[in-house]
């Protein structure tokens, strides 16, 4: 087969066998050079970006690395004494590192730890099955023809027919990966992360680095904004409506906007070929200050390492799959309805939100064996709770494109006063804050239906950076956590997480007297199930993790148990938790919060009963008698959510924090 190579010495054609070793190609390239440093050669299938050290590919055949007949490769090298070529993404200090260390950095994709959903799809071909066509298929029931053979997962006609706007991540990989190397783990990664920064130092090495000067070798190429053909996540599924309703409670009570991190996992999504969905099991709220039309966050999120480590210990490990925030403003005419402001004639995602999404996605890249860096784009989803046309609340889900992430990393764009418009920044050659802005274009169809290219300077529509993600709720909800009663973190003044509340509720549930299934008293199964359901609350477990009453091992056992899918079907499910030392310590404190038993001692006839018994004891006895008879206790209000009795002057429950 013919392999074409382009170097600074010219264009060359080499006739090689597919089974030939890469070292044979390297030898032929060396023959075309003079005084070249053999350790500085890099090869790429693109003019710029994706360079790989040729030395790291030796020992593999051309077929193994995905080389086909007629392929064109771009080779760069340095003359002896000039130093090694610096690959994209490495610092200038890396050029002085040993070649073995550079080889390891070039092959970072081989050590990338992909998500379980990526492992699942890589083990399948993803082809779309079709039934035998009664009209066109002329073969027998076991035959196959063009009318019934499976379709490729990226088939354009299938996507158009089913209204699927974007290819899934793995469908896109199948489309761009050469067929001859699709099953080869050693093939060159097909994805190259975008980089719009000036290369410093310049690979040409014949001029001062930016911002002193710039050349065609180190400056980024012109950018044409396009709709991204694929998306990293196809669907956002929220495990139950109660998760969103509980999150909205703070906004309903205060009118201030709220922000929360979505904790969940990634799973295959069968509505899209080789699709991926993010399943949300809980919303964890960081410290924040809400306002009527926005909110203030502290980043980086200080508690993130603890929450990530804790979530990973669930029965099915969880991680941060996205974030959600509210954008709800009640109408003046009807306070039960909200202003409809996000629509196609206004904006769907503001420029400020898009830039924030790009920043967050860059912080949470996706591990990928299909990228030279071992990382590519991000699966972090942005969910917005906003008003529908009839004033009700609905979820909108988006991601921003890889182009958006690269533009934010290069400090090229900023928010505009108009939420639907993104502004390009001005070029800056100041040392220490240098910014280069290449030519940026976007295309659109004019009134005659013709596609027109227009300069994006000084501004362009935010839609060019967005990727739509569908969303929904399962038809038969089966959330990992069964309770949402415990107060939510970081809601000061509205809901306070206190150990006294947890202990009082444990005492109310008679938790100190509940034994494991082997020693349980007859008829106590209902108590065990009630306790198990109350414990199955993400916010409760996350709070107990901060009290130091339970050891890390006990917290791990508690979370793993209360997140188990069989928790409420097995009476013995709680036994591992009840046997831990941390649980016994917790029960010791809970007993102190249990109601005192009624006194059965007779009152002396020689003295008046009111004088013999203190008033607080009389009040306690009256309360217990009223509770035993099913009547309401004077001066107390029963919480409709957790049935705990509170002082009548309170507006929210002392146990669950919800309004009375």
The string of pLDDT tens digits covering residues 620-659 is 655 555 555 454 445 667 776 555 666 666 677 765 566 6
When pLDDT is cut at 50, 70 and 90, the band that residue 83 belongs to is very low
Give the burial class of 633: count Cβ atoms within 10 A of its Cβ; 0-12 exposed, 13-18 middle, 19 or more buried: middle
Mean pLDDT for 192-212 is: 86
When pLDDT is cut at 50, 70 and 90, the band that residue 188 belongs to is confident
Give the burial class of 383: count Cβ atoms within 10 A of its Cβ; 0-12 exposed, 13-18 middle, 19 or more buried: buried
For the stretch 140-152, pLDDT in tens is: 888 888 888 899 9
Mean pLDDT for 308-335 is: 94
Confirm whether pTM is higher than 0.85. no
What region does 588 belong to: left with phi over 0, alpha with psi -120 to 50, or beta?
A: alpha
Provide the pLDDT for residue 96: 32
Half-sphere exposure of 410 (CA within 13 A, CB side): 28
In terms of pLDDT, which residue wins out, 196 or 517? Answer: 196
Strand partners, 223: 440
Bond preceding residue 300 cis, omega within 30 of 0: yes
Which of these, 248, 325, 257, lies nearest to 289 by C-alpha position? 257
Residue 560 scores a pLDDT above 60:
yes
Provide the pLDDT for residue 286: 96
CB 633 within 8 A of CB 618: no
In terms of pLDDT, which residue wins out, 517 or 526? Answer: 526
Residue 122 scores a pLDDT above 70:
yes
Mean pLDDT for 254-273 is: 96
Residue 93 scores a pLDDT above 70:
no
Bond preceding residue 618 cis, omega within 30 of 0: no
Residue 95 scores a pLDDT above 50:
no
State the Cα–Cα distance between residues 195 and 88, nearest whole angstrom: 9
Mean pLDDT for 384-408 is: 95
Provide the pLDDT for residue 556: 96
From residue 305, how far is each of 284, 286, 317, 323 by CA, in Å?
A: 13, 12, 15, 16
């Amino acid at each position: 087969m013919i392999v074409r190579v382009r170097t600074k010495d010219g264009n060359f054609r080499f006739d090689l066998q597919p089974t030939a070793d890469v070292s044979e190609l390297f030898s032929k390239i060396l023959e075309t050079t003079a005084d070249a440093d053999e350790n500085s050669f890099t090869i790429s299938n693109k003019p710029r970006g994706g360079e790989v050290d040729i030395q790291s590919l030796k020992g593999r055949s051309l077929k193994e690395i995905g080389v086909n007949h007629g392929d064109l490769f771009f080779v760069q090298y340095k003359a002896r004494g000039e130093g090694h070529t610096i690959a994209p993404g490495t610092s200038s200090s890396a050029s002085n590192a040993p070649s073995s260390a550079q080889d390891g950095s070039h092959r970072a994709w081989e050590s990338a730890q992909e998500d379980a959903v990526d492992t699942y799809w890589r083990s399948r071909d993803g082809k779309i099955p079709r039934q035998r066509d009664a009209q066109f298929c002329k073969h027998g029931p076991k035959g196959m023809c063009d009318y019934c053979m499976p379709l490729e997962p990226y088939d354009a006609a299938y996507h158009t027919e089913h209204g699927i706007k974007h290819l899934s991540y793995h469908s896109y990989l199948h489309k761009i990966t050469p067929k001859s190397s699709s099953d080869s783990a050693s093939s060159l990664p097909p994805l190259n992360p975008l980089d719009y920064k000036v290369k410093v130092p310049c690979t040409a090495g014949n001029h001062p680095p930016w911002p002193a000067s710039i050349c065609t070798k180190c400056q980024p190429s012109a950018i044409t904004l396009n709709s991204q053909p694929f998306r990293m996540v196809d669907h956002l599924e929220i495990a139950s409506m109660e998760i969103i309703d509980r999150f909205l409670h703070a906004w309903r009570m205060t009118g201030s906007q709220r922000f929360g991190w979505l904790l969940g996992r990634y799973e295959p999504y069968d509505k899209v070929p080789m699709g991926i969905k993010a399943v949300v099991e809980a919303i964890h709220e960081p410290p924040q200050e809400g306002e009527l039309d926005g909110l203030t966050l502290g980043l980086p999120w200080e508690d993130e390492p603890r929450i990530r480590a804790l979530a990973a210990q669930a029965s099915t490990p969880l991680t941060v799959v996205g974030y959600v925030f509210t954008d709800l403003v009640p109408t003046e005419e009807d306070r039960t309805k909200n202003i409809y402001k996000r629509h196609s004639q206004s904006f769907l995602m503001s420029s400020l939100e898009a830039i924030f999404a790009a920043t967050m996605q860059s912080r949470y890249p996706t591990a990928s064996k299909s990228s030279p860096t071992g990382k590519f784009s991000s699966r972090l989803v942005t969910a917005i709770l906003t008003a529908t046309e009839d004033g009700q609340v609905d979820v909108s889900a988006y991601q921003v494109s890889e182009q958006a992430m690269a533009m934010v990393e290069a400090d090229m764009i900023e928010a505009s006063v108009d939420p639907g418009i993104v502004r390009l920044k001005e070029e800056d050659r100041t040392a220490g804050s240098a910014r280069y802005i290449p030519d940026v274009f976007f295309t659109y169809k004019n009134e005659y239906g013709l596609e027109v290219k227009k300069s994006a300077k000084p501004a362009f529509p935010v839609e060019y950076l967005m990727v739509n993600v569908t969303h929904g709720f399962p038809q038969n909800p089966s959330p990992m956590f069964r309770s949402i009663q415990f107060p939510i973190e970081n809601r000061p003044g509205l809901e306070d997480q206190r150990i006294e509340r947890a202990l009082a509720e444990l005492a109310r549930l008679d938790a100190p007297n509940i034994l494991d299934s082997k020693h349980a008293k007859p008829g106590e199964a209902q108590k065990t199930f009630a306790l198990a359901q109350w414990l199955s609350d993400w916010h409760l477990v996350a709070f107990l993790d901060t009290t130091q009453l339970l050891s890390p091992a006990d917290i791990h056992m508690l979370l793993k148990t209360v997140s188990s899918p069989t928790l409420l079907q097995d009476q013995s499910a709680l036994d591992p938790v009840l046997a831990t030392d941390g649980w016994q310590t917790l029960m010791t404190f809970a007993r102190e919060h249990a109601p005192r038993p009624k006194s059965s001692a007779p009152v002396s006839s020689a003295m008046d009963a009111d004088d013999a018994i203190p008033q607080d004891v009389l009040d306690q006895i009256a309360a217990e008698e009223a509770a035993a008879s099913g009547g309401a206790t004077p001066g107390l209000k029963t919480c409709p959510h957790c049935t705990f009795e509170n002082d009548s002057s309170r507006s929210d429950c002392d146990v669950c924090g919800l309004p009375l």
